[in-house]
Structure 1
Amino acid sequence: MIRKTFIIICFGICSFSGVNAQQSKPVIYQMIVRLFGNQNTTNKFYGSIEENGCGKFNDINDKALDSLKTLGITHIWYTGILEHATMTDYAAFGIKVDDPDVVKGRAGSPYAVKDYYDVDPDLSVNVKNRMAEFQSLIDRTHQHGLKAIMDFIPNHVARGYYSGAKPDSVISFGMQDDTSVTFSPKNDFYYIPKTSFVVPKGVDAGGKDFHSPLKDGKFYERPAKATGNNVFKPDPSIDDWYETVKLNYGVDIQHGNKEYFTPTPPVWKKMRDILVFWTKKGVDGFRCDVAEMVPVAFWHWVIPQVKKVNPHIIFIAEAYTPEKYEQYLNYGHFDYLYNKVGLYDVLKKLIKNDSGTSVNEIENVMDFQKNFSQHMLNFLENHDEERIASIQFAGNPFFAEPAMVIAATISNAPVMIYFGQELGEKAEGAEGFGGDDGKTTIFDYWGVPAVQQWTDDGKFDGGKLSSAQKSLRDFYQKLLHIARGNAALYNGQYQIIKDTVFNEKQFAYLRFNGQEKILVVANFDRKNNLQTTLQMPANLTGRKSLETVVNLFTNKRVGIEKGIPISVAPNGYLILKLE
């Protein structure tokens, strides 16, 4: 049998144009602060903060940060920082009590912001000292050479939004609105005049065991405001974002999305001031929730203004519309976009071994993103997606290893992991409002078993991990350091390599720059080994023949004479440095 290796030339097709030289690859670790440090193992369905416990800013201590840095992390996305609606009563501290009928879960959704100028009191040891505890976390993060990212939620606020911490000069949302009209460019909200808000049928705030005089199936709001996911009626459904109110950026959504951006809408100015407020507190970046639900013109206007305060701050967009990606990068000034509708969707199908899925889909994604792939944030988990180890996804975290290798090495883009992903967290069972959906709840007070095994009562030494969990975490640590430590993987070009023995589940590519050449091979086939010998042409190797290759996972060096011998087990991978 004649075996051939094909090099798909990617100059001008698959190369990364406009790549900015960077010193390393950003590696982001998303953690839900409420859950990260919680050592309570009660995990009662719809449990209160007293019953199930809650993580704190102070739990993210020097040991935790040291361990994350050793893992290979460069940035931590602290999820759930801003004060949001909750069923926990903090009236004793001067904080307005929320109506539970418009709160999802006992803890509440971090994306139903109640006060843009305050932090979640759940996360503090001393509620009165909560902002200082947050500031200490930011300072501590920086002392460990790490960067801090927080959420910015621009599209909607909690139904009961009330800022008790805003500067006196700030006019609260809606205070100057004309509530007699559906839309006005001067209004902060959209209204449904002459109607009252109706709590959706089926809402059982806090579950059957939660009791409160405010739990009555009603919430007074007249006139009713439009709901966060663009529902322009007073009675959203239980599947809508009924706990939130849509903000008005000067777009008349109900009349052809007509734009009124001159003069500058008041919401724009208020949001700019909020971003500047947190930037001045030392935050290094913002993950912008549902960024596409806000006009790109706003981002074009606001991001440069924030970067005048801190030129190095980064903006990450939660974006799901591929045809708009370049617009949000080039005109909107975002640094990075979610690579969900793109690489994630393809890799998920390969991990799950879905029938009909081919690695050719990876090629299609890379070709589509060829001019901006370095600006796509690659990941396999986040709070909106199922855990890899869950029965709803793969049921086995090791099935994702070849996909994670690709996510971390296929482009110059940053890569993100979700707390517990590196430990094989399964997200088993229903927590409360967060059902049995394969996702770690963002709505409830809960403990995350795999993370608790790693944190080991605050020692952060992995003392309670199984041997399989330790092996998985070791894989992630090695991979992240490989991705960060080799210039070809963060400042290089990419070329697909094909061989006649490859099937639809086997994929290889070369990453290279002037100094380094790295071959990556991924075998998604769960049954068949990949055995072949690959030939690298002289125009890529810089010489007629290679002398050695180094396996970057094992550091094993192999001399070669007639091509590169490739042996990859089912569901396996290789990362080889060519010398």
Structure 2
Amino acid sequence: MTIKPIVLALSLISGGAILTACQTTQSPNEAVQAKQQQDQKPVVYQVFTRLFGNTHTNNVPWGTKEENGVGKFADFTPKALSEIKAMGVSHMWYTGVLHHALVADYSQYGIGIDDPDVVKGRAGSPYAIKDYYNVNPDLAIDPVNRLGEFEELIKRTHEAGMKVVIDIVPNHVARNYQSLSAPSGVTDFGAQDDTSQVYARNNNFYYVAGQDFKVPTSADYQVLGGMPHDLVDGKFIESPAKWTGNGARAAQPHIHDWYETVKVNYGVRPDGSYDFPTLPAHMAKQDHKAHYVFWQEKDLPDSWYKFRDITLYWLDKGVDGFRYDMAEMVPVEFWSFLNSSIKMKNPDAFILAEVYNPTLYRAYIHQGKMDFLYDKVGFYDSLKLLMQGKGNAQSVIDAHKSVSDIAPHMLHFLENHDEQRIASPEFAGSAEKGKPAMVVSHLISSAPTMLYFGQSVGEDGSEMAGFGKPSRTSIFDYIGVPAHQAWMNNGKFDGGQLTQKQKELRAYYKKLMNLNALPAIIDGDLLELNPMDLEGTQAPTVMAFARATSKQRLVIASNFNAKHTQTVTLTLPEHWQGKVTDLLESHPTMQIKNNQLVITLAPLASVVYELES
């Protein structure tokens, strides 16, 4: 779609999509649109569960949990949850809950010891799942009752008024997958595979027939940082070798492959062709009930049923939704099957997927029945460049327009476990630079916003935890998270150890995030505004737009320049006149004159103006 470079462009659809008059006003997913007709637009709080409640501050590289500490389910107290809820949060995404491979001895509980040669870090990757029917024993006070402790956390989260989201990692599992907790009749992944075949339709894995697995080697990497361990010997018994999680087919994967995992087979032959029924084109316009009916009575690969049963198991435990890791590496037909099964059990289930290929977005939404996808490639990437002083505001608008037809499905974020912390030198070097970006990210669309734990207090990810490099808070090792710990204040969750600057930053986030209850943010049309500087040219570091319903009009403007004040003029529709009040930073009340709104923005400042109706 092309929008001419005029001062104002109007949309004809709610939810932040910019559309022309000839386009349909019907949302591509009526269930999502209906879900957003509530008292706030969704805000997802992603928390790395093992790090949240940890009070240890030693931060020894490659340190054990005894040295560096580990958080527990019990650390999410009613007080902690109420403070998170107060940030406008509707959904808690507890990352790293499922039992994954890790370097610790829980053999007294009947849990097999994992080989460090095929574990990343000491605490292990949360995306190398070892048992889909139980949770990480590190997170429990009593490992015997670890599942019960998580069920209590689900209950506390619901009592705090929030929903629970956990990860499902369908593309791969840990090399040492072994479920100790599977319900009666459930067989482990690979237990019934014909390992003599590279591929068989009902095998759960792919095999390097006739070859044994070899641990990858590298001159630049030492397991556990070179620290001694009885099992660190460069060997792991797997015969025959399985394909690695990212699709690497060698018996000895590269050190940069996902060597700690094995790829799951969904009936995709090694040549890429499908060994299962495909969806007719018209199914893209059908709801989840029609998709559910389509898959009944069809003979499907075994892995499809295994993951369906896993997700239904967690729904029965009280989980309200799922975040799917690397969803684009799994065929869209499987998602149609799985998500329709989930929606038949819980029509309100929250389904979020990690997809980075923009050419697949619409297929995974329409055919795959995803509720939401990451809006990373395009929106986040262009916004990051603007924050770094390398991009311009128009590129962000253009990125948003490129997904205008599916904008209500595109979740926005500035941080998550995969991305660099805003305050890290590798990203922006200052948490303050996240303020205008968060205003834009949060308010431009009715799609959910995601907030990562520690983001609102300026966490910088500078700790050298072990596996990987600083700038991202480690997901592989036991570590304390300093700014977050200052807010946590030894379990008081009152910000008692925060600096004044950190307190002000968190207060800013709190005020901003709670604007998600404004009618124009929940369901308003998006109006693109073109900020003009004093010389009459477009201001490249100021981004401005409006959100409006019949009952509320908002004008949002952010200055991404970290050094200079910017004065810009916005031309509004003729009928937009009267008093203007700032809802964010308490700027003085002002008036619109002759449809012109003149705004002076300090460095990194934003305004959210409500116009008198």
TM interval, short-chain normalised: over 0.9
> Once the 2 structures are TM-superposed, how far is the Cα of residue 364 of structure 1 from its aligned partner?
1.5
For 1:494-541, what per-residue CA distance to the aligned partner results, in whole angstroms no more than 9, with x for missing partners?
0111143232111211110111110011111233322244342235x3
Alignment of 1:367-386 (within 5 A): 367-386=401-420
| Matched-pair identity in % | 44
Matched, 1:516 2:552: yes
For 1:434-487, what per-residue CA distance to the aligned partner results, in whole angstroms no more than 9, with x for missing partners?
323x000111011100111010000000000001111110111010011x1211
Question: Could you tell me which residue of structure 1 aligns to residue 222 of structure 2?
Answer: 204
- Is residue 227–residue 241 contact of structure 1 (8 Å, CA) maintained in 2? yes
Secondary structure at the counterpart of residue 199 of structure 2: coil
Give 2:463's match in structure 1, choosing from 426, 429, 442. Answer: 429
- Is residue 166–residue 319 contact of structure 2 (8 Å, CA) maintained in 1? yes
Matched, 1:229 2:246: yes
Q: Counterparts of 1:493 and 1:227 in 2: how far apart (Å)?
A: 45
Q: Which amino acid aligns with 1:492?
A: G
Q: Which amino acid aligns with 1:255?
A: D
- Is residue 465–residue 474 contact of structure 2 (8 Å, CA) maintained in 1? yes
Q: Counterparts of 1:339 and 1:575 in 2: how far apart (Å)?
A: 23
For 1:149-197, what per-residue CA distance to the aligned partner results, in whole angstroms no more than 9, with x for missing partners?
1000101000011001101210111111111111111111000100000
Question: Could you tell me which residue of structure 2 aligns to residue 33 of structure 1?
Answer: 49
Give 1:292's match in structure 2, choosing from 317, 322, 328. Answer: 328
1:561–1:387 Cα change, 3 Å: closer
Question: Could you tell me which residue of structure 1 aligns to residue 475 of structure 2?
Answer: 442
- Is residue 8–residue 498 contact of structure 1 (8 Å, CA) maintained in 2? no
Give 2:139's match in structure 1, choosing from 119, 123, 127. Answer: 123
Secondary structure at the counterpart of residue 145 of structure 1: coil
Question: Could you tell me which residue of structure 2 aligns to residue 529 of structure 1?
Answer: 565
Q: Counterparts of 1:73 and 1:321 in 2: how far apart (Å)?
A: 28
TM-score, structure 1 as length reference = 0.95
Give 1:194's match in structure 2, choosing from 187, 193, 210. Answer: 210
> Once the 2 structures are TM-superposed, how far is the Cα of residue 561 of structure 1 from its aligned partner?
5.3
> Once the 2 structures are TM-superposed, how far is the Cα of residue 258 of structure 1 from its aligned partner?
3.5
Question: Could you tell me which residue of structure 1 aligns to residue 498 of structure 2?
Answer: 465
- Is residue 5–residue 499 contact of structure 1 (8 Å, CA) maintained in 2? no
Question: Could you tell me which residue of structure 1 aligns to residue 154 of structure 2?
Answer: 138
Alignment of 1:117-516 (within 5 A): 117-202=133-218, 204-212=222-230, 214-252=231-269, 254-261=270-277, 263-354=299-390, 357-436=391-470, 438-482=471-515, 484-501=516-533, 502-516=538-552
Matched, 1:14 2:14: no
> Once the 2 structures are TM-superposed, how far is the Cα of residue 565 of structure 1 from its aligned partner?
3.1
Q: Counterparts of 1:454 and 1:445 in 2: how far apart (Å)?
A: 19
Q: Counterparts of 1:561 and 1:395 in 2: how far apart (Å)?
A: 37
Secondary structure at the counterpart of residue 567 of structure 1: strand
- Which structure 2 segments of 5+ residues have no match? 20-24, 28-32, 278-297
Q: Which amino acid aligns with 2:311?
A: L
Secondary structure at the counterpart of residue 198 of structure 1: coil
> Once the 2 structures are TM-superposed, how far is the Cα of residue 9 of structure 1 from its aligned partner?
3.2
Q: Which amino acid aligns with 2:154?
A: I
1:90–1:499 Cα change, 3 Å: closer
Q: Which amino acid aligns with 2:11?
A: C
- Which structure 1 segments of 5+ residues have no match? none
Q: Counterparts of 1:499 and 1:392 in 2: how far apart (Å)?
A: 29
For 1:346-390, what per-residue CA distance to the aligned partner results, in whole angstroms no more than 9, with x for missing partners?
110011111xx2212122112211111011110000000000001
> Once the 2 structures are TM-superposed, how far is the Cα of residue 556 of structure 1 from its aligned partner?
5.3
Secondary structure at the counterpart of residue 9 of structure 1: strand
1:384–1:460 Cα change, 3 Å: same
1:561–1:225 Cα change, 3 Å: closer
Q: Counterparts of 1:383 and 1:411 in 2: how far apart (Å)?
A: 22
Which range moves more in the overlay, 498-507 or 401-410? Answer: 498-507
Matched, 1:558 2:600: no
Q: Counterparts of 2:379 and 2:592 in 1: how far apart (Å)?
A: 35
Q: Counterparts of 2:457 and 2:389 in 1: how far apart (Å)?
A: 22
Secondary structure at the counterpart of residue 8 of structure 2: strand
- Is residue 10–residue 526 contact of structure 2 (8 Å, CA) maintained in 1? no
> Once the 2 structures are TM-superposed, how far is the Cα of residue 17 of structure 1 from its aligned partner?
4.8
Question: Could you tell me which residue of structure 1 aligns to residue 59 of structure 2?
Answer: 43
- Is residue 527–residue 545 contact of structure 2 (8 Å, CA) maintained in 1? yes
Q: Counterparts of 1:531 and 1:420 in 2: how far apart (Å)?
A: 32
Q: Which amino acid aligns with 1:209?
A: M
Aligned length: 565
Secondary structure at the counterpart of residue 377 of structure 2: helix
Q: Counterparts of 1:336 and 1:353 in 2: how far apart (Å)?
A: 29
TM-score, structure 2 as length reference = 0.90
Q: Counterparts of 1:548 and 1:559 in 2: how far apart (Å)?
A: 6
Q: Which amino acid aligns with 2:222?
A: D
Secondary structure at the counterpart of residue 226 of structure 2: coil
Matched, 1:109 2:113: no
For 1:222-278, what per-residue CA distance to the aligned partner results, in whole angstroms no more than 9, with x for missing partners?
1100000000110101111000000000001x3133333562000000000000000
Secondary structure at the counterpart of residue 207 of structure 1: helix
Give 2:579's match in structure 1, choosing from 538, 544, 548. Answer: 548
Q: Which amino acid aligns with 2:436?
A: P
For 1:17-52, what per-residue CA distance to the aligned partner results, in whole angstroms no more than 9, with x for missing partners?
524452111011111110000001111110011111
Q: Counterparts of 2:306 and 2:26 in 1: how far apart (Å)?
A: 36
- Is residue 280–residue 309 contact of structure 1 (8 Å, CA) maintained in 2? no
Question: Could you tell me which residue of structure 2 aligns to residue 56 of structure 1?
Answer: 72
Q: Counterparts of 2:356 and 2:426 in 1: how far apart (Å)?
A: 22
> Once the 2 structures are TM-superposed, how far is the Cα of residue 98 of structure 1 from its aligned partner?
0.8
Q: Which amino acid aligns with 1:496?
A: E
Q: Which amino acid aligns with 2:417?
A: H
- Is residue 5–residue 535 contact of structure 1 (8 Å, CA) maintained in 2? no
Q: Which amino acid aligns with 2:37?
A: Q
RMSD between superposed Cα atoms in Å: 1.6
Matched, 1:84 2:100: yes
